[in-house]
């Protein structure tokens, strides 16, 4: 019987035949794809006269079957994975690591690439070809090609072990999250919670056969409003402790996984001639060294510290006026912060929810794609999906009718999906074989489910999240590159968040909100006074939120710059590292690192700072949109042409300067967040 994963898809545009393959198909399909790729690599090694075409280009296109199968697997691993599928990661990840090392540590292959690289000045290459040559050469030299055979073998063993640790970390976080359930039997314990949250909890309980109860979980649509609105302090504490204690000291403890990952990453860095893991990572970032990252973070810390301290003091003082006794604990902060915001601005986040029906938000999202980038979105029903709630959208150019790609929308939580929101690429734009193909991408979120009486109603934060992931998707869908490894969002990680964070800005503008924010019952457009209240509150506690992000970034950098021998206990190291950033009491039994999936399971190691780095870029970019008009065709076309279409074909600073006409400026972010003194001027790092 043929393995469908090994066959070219006969669906339109080669769409993935979800539902036609089984868990047991992945490993044999991957093994045969790797075997086929090795034959392609052997042909490259056999060439007598290395050229760009027969070596660099050939290497780029080798092993595309491996990429396809692994992309499908990891998309499902994150979004639709039962335990058998999760368990396959311990087999698949090491195989992929071995395959990658077999390429990067192959001296014959490297010599072919090096021969072309050494002759680069004599070659007539276009910009993308030059970039691919440089990236190919750097990938070899920065991943062990120049090591001795003995050290190559050490590197291979390190990478093999590392490849199994990230899935293990993610699995521990997922399992420790899903085992927690807060059951409420007494209606008094629901006081303070919005009706929509109560109804969703009732629906969750019914799904488990307890129709007279309410069920709350650690999924964001349940957790976030509970901590923000529940009047029951002890229950807030229970939820907060469970969330912040995930994978820490339980049967799914990640402390050993962290320690081993950090040790291996450090050992790998030493083999590659670097002081630490951060040095290795930052060789391919806009921030070129750990020192540059720390300098950037310290500048933000200096700008935000006094505001952050003031934010906490204001909440503490306000809580006392509501008869709160004692210090503000972490499970109190969001609760009293929300009440302070409502008191100060006459504005409650829940006031917005009735205007943010998911179906309308999706329509508005696509309308932004049309107005900004002249795109057309059409839902199709003739392609299979991996879960019944997933929608498939065909994307075309409104101007030319050109087909641009497929977009999958997977927006609701379920037990088989990890928390959070992300965009994943199922097929990169670019050459596949001899044909330029368009991308297939997926936006995955965890929004509130519709109930028997209400549609899915989002918070403003969730609306911004959807626009954020749409920005990533646009980066992939609008790509006009030749080589998949340089297309779409395959850019430096401290540049990749620019399109996504930029798109969030449209969720805060009157002209934008009027396109999609309509009351789910009356159909009336969101009132302008409610928008103004929201905008007036936009800077509310920006100092505290900046410090929160800096805490994550500093913790990440510490894990990857401090020698493992000096770390000691996991929890103590975290406390010592973040002491200056902990504005609320540190609670025993909780730990950030053990569930910090971004850096231990998501590829952001020594890269979490990039969220703030990209905020500088997007704030500076959106200033231009504001100056010219938020739907200005000239600015949006230039952003599309110079940023979205180019992928990683040039250095990101060159791309940004081509778009903006100058380097970005830190002032835009500080001004927007209310952290810039009137006379202060500051340049980008």
R_g (Cα) of the chain, nearest Å: 25
Q: Rounded to an integer, what distance in angstroms lies between the CA atom of residue 365 and that of residue 375? A: 11
**Backbone torsions φ then ψ of 157, nearest 5 degrees:** -65, -40
| Alpha carbon distances (Å) from 433 to 46, 59, 60, 133, 615 | 20, 12, 10, 19, 37
CA distance linking residue 51 with residue 342, whole number of Å: 66
Q: Report the DSSP beta bridge partners of residue 397.
A: 375
Beta-strand ranges (E) seen in 147-192 are 182-184
Q: Which two tokens stand for residue 357?
A: 């029906």
Residue indicated by tokens 């006392």 = 320
| CA–CA distance, 112 with 504 (Å, rounded to integer) | 45
Q: What is the DSSP string of 419-442?
A: SS-EEEEEE-SEEETTEEE--EEE
Q: Are strands 430-432 and 435-437 parallel, antiparallel or unpaired?
A: antiparallel
Residue 444, H or E segment: strand 440-444
Helix and strand numbers, DSSP H then E, in the chain:
28, 9
Q: Quote the CA–CA distance of 536 and 539 in Å, as a whole number.
A: 7
CA–CA separation, 266 and 403 (whole Å):
45
Measured in degrees and rounded to the nearest 5, phi and psi for residue 134 equal -65, -45
98 is catalytic: no
If phi > 0 it is left, if psi is from -120 to 50 it is alpha, else beta; for residue 681 that is beta
Strand partners, 422: 444
SS3 letters across 71-93: HHHHHHHHHCCCHHHHHCHHHHH
Residue with tokens 């990857």, as numbered in its chain: 560
Backbone angles phi and psi of 546, in degrees to 5:
-65, -45
Work out the number of other CB atoms within 10 angstroms of the CB of residue 637: 13
| Phi-psi domain of 665 (left: phi exceeds 0; alpha: psi -120 through 50; beta: other) | beta
Q: Cα–Cα distance between 326 and 307 in angstroms, integer?
A: 22
Which of the following is catalytic: 469, 497, 574, 618? 469
Please give the structure tokens belonging to residue 195.
Answer: 């009706």
Distance between CA 253 and CA 198 in Å, rounded? 32
| Element (DSSP H or E) covering residue 274 | none
Parallel, antiparallel, or unpaired for β 214-216 and 375-380?
unpaired
- By CB atoms closer than 10 A (0-12, 13-18, 19+), residue 278 is buried
Which residues belong to the active site?
469
């Amino acid at each position: 019987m043929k393995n469908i994963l090994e066959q070219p898809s006969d669906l339109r545009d080669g769409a993935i035949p979800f539902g036609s393959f089984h868990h047991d198909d992945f490993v044999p399909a991957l093994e045969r794809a790797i075997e086929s790729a090795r034959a392609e690599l052997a042909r490259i090694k056999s060439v007598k006269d290395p050229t760009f075409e027969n070596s660099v280009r050939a290497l780029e296109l080798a092993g595309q079957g491996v990429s396809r199968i692994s992309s499908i697997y990891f998309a499902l691993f994150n979004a639709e994975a039962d335990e058998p599928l999760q368990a396959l990661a311990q087999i698949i990840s090491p195989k992929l690591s071995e395959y990658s090392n077999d390429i990067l540590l192959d001296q014959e292959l490297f010599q072919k690439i090096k021969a072309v690289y050494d002759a680069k000045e004599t070659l007539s290459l276009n910009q993308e070809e030059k970039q691919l040559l440089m990236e190919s050469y750097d990938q070899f030299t920065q991943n062990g090609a120049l090591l001795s055979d003995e050290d190559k073998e050490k590197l291979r063993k390190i990478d093999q072990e590392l490849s199994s640790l990230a899935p293990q970390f993610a699995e521990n976080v997922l399992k420790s999250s899903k085992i927690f359930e807060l059951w409420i039997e007494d209606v008094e314990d629901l006081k303070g919670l919005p009706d929509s949250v109560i109804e969703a909890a009732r629906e969750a309980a019914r799904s488990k056969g307890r129709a007279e109860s309410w069920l709350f979980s650690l999924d964001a649509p349940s957790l976030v409003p509970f901590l923000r609105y529940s009047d029951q302090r002890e229950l807030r504490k229970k939820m907060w402790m469970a969330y912040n204690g995930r994978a820490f000291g339980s049967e799914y403890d990640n402390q050993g996984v962290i320690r081993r990952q950090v040790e291996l990453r450090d050992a790998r860095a030493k083999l590659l001639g670097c002081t630490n893991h951060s040095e290795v990572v930052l060789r391919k970032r806009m921030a070129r060294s750990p020192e540059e990252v720390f300098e950037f973070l310290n500048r933000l810390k200096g700008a935000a510290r006094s505001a952050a301290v003031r934010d906490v003091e204001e909440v503490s003082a306000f809580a006392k006026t509501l008869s709160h006794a004692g210090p503000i604990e972490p499970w109190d902060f969001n609760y009293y912060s929300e009440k302070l915001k409502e008191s100060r601005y006459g504005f409650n986040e829940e006031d917005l929810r009735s205007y943010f029906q998911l179906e309308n938000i999706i329509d508005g999202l696509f309308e932004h794609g049309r107005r900004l980038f002249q795109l057309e979105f059409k839902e199709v029903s003739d392609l299979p999906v991996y879960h019944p709630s997933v929608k498939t959208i065909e994307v075309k150019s409104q101007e030319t009718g050109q087909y641009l790609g497929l977009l999958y929308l997977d927006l609701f939580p379920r037990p088989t999906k990890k928390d959070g929101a992300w965009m994943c690429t199922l097929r990169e734009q670019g050459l596949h074989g001899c044909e330029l193909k368009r991308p297939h991408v997926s936006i995955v979120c965890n929004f509130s489910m519709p109930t028997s009486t209400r549609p899915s109603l989002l918070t403003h934060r969730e609306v911004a999240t959807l626009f954020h992931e749409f920005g990533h998707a646009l980066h992939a869908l609008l790509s006009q590159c030749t080589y998949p490894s340089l297309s779409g969002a395959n850019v430096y990680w401290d540049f990749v968040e620019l399109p996504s964070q930029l798109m969030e800005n449209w969720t805060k503008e009157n002209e934008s909100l009027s396109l999609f924010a309509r009351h789910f019952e009356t159909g009336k457009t969101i009132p302008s006074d409610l928008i103004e209240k929201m905008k007036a509150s936009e800077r509310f506690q920006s100092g505290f939120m900046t410090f929160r992000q800096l805490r994550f970034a500093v913790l990440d950098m510490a894990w990857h710059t401090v020698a493992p021998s000096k770390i000691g206990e996991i929890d103590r190291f975290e406390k010592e590292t973040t002491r200056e950033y902990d504005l609320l009491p540190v609670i025993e039994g909780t730990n950030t690192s053990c569930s910090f999936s971004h850096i231990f399971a998501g590829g952001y190691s020594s890269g979490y700072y990039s969220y703030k780095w990209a905020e500088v870029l997007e704030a500076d970019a959106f200033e231009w949109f504001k100056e010219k008009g938020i739907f200005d065709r000239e600015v949006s076309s230039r952003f599309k042409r110079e940023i979205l279409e180019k992928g990683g074909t040039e250095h990101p600073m060159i791309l940004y300067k081509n778009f903006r006409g100058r380097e970005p400026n830190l002032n835009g972010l500080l001004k927007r967040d209310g952290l810039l003194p009137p006379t202060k001027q500051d340049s980008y790092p």
